Amino acid sequence: MPHTGEWKIHLYFFEEEGTTKARVVLNTGTSELTGHGAAHRNPADTDVPEIGDELAAGRAMRDLGRQLLGIAERDIEDMDMPADGRSARPQAGWPLQE
């Protein structure tokens, strides 16, 4: 069954006093999730904003990915549990971990 879709992602950065904060917002068209991340620069380190942006953005995206995996895992579990609490079919074919 062919399937296509488009999700929109916005990534925002905020820098203050040696800390870069990132917020990534995912809009699926039916729901919205937000991931957060931060990077703290040691005052003795050279100020390279790109490094703080990369670290904060990566951590925000990792947070968002964790949330998406959690939602998918719950959705898979819900598919396997009818109202009487007994599984109506074998385990789902979607691997929950890589």
The secondary structure of the chain as a DSSP string is -------EEEEEEEEETTEEEEEEEEE-SS-EEEEEEEEE--TTS---HHHHHHHHHHHHHHHHHHHHHHHHHHHHHHHT--TTSS-SSSPPSS-S--
Residues of the chain with confidence (pLDDT) below 70? 81-98
Domains of the chain: 8-42+49-79 (3.30.160.240)
pLDDT at 94: 62
- pLDDT, tens digit (0-9, with 9 covering 90-100), for 5-17: 999 999 999 998 8
Q: Report the mean per-residue pLDDT for the chain.
A: 88
For residue 47, what pLDDT is reported? 87
